[in-house]
Amino acid sequence: MRLNKFIAGCGVCSRREADKLIEEGRVSINGEIAGFGALVLDGDTVLVDGKEISLQEEKIVIAYYKPVGVTCTEKDKFAQKTVIEDLGFEKRVTYAGRLDKESEGLLLMTNDGDLINAMMRGASGHEKEYEVTVDKEVTADFIRAMSGGIYLKELDKKTRPCKVKKTGKYSFDIVLTQGLNRQIRRMCDALGFSVKKLKRIRVMSVRLEDYNLKPGEHIVLTKEEVKKLCKDAGL
């Protein structure tokens, strides 16, 4: 098995992030620093940051309500609290799609690397829904501009058309099918608006409201829920 797939299958991170670990020299196979394209054979000992990892047999998916102030990272000495620390789950899991530190809401955590990879594949167009509050009145022109896609100069990309619905004088719901860095905040900034509150309420078929979770709480999804999620992700 290719090393990056093995690392993802152990629930450490996505394949893309596994490539970064390998590039940084943080992965070894049988005591030797591993390189790109390395293969893991039966009986090999793989270490990440000096800790042995192994494939997870039982696939777990967790719906977790990430609070504001918690950072989506595996390890960061500058982070006040990471999602792994706040979740405090007994088995090793990682996140499928980030939420920035200032945002809150639904975060799916799992040890299934294939599921993470499938969910994060931008071309698949998987939906993520958010509730947003801004500092100015939400107008028809604002909704029209957000829905049609906005060019983000700092990323040199135009966002995909998306669904946007006004929910209050200063609030709206938005459904994205891509995950650019701080995308909603950047889109609002481009139109002269500042995000005051951002909450993710849905990832594909998983809705935060279905579990009545409070910030910092989590629930393990049922086998039926995981099966549907995997099917929708194309697995």
Which residues are catalytically annotated? Answer: 100
Cα(33)–Cα(126) distance, rounded to whole angstroms?
36
Q: Rounded to the nearest 5 degrees, what angle is found at the Cα of 91, between the Cα atoms of 235 and 95?
A: 50
Token output for 148:
């049609």
Q: What is the DSSP string of 65-77?
A: EEPTT-B--S--T
User: Which whole-number Å values give the CA distances from 55 to 48, 67, 154, 155, 218, in the listed order?
Assistant: 13, 29, 39, 36, 23
Q: How far apart are CA 90 and CA 132, in angstroms?
A: 33
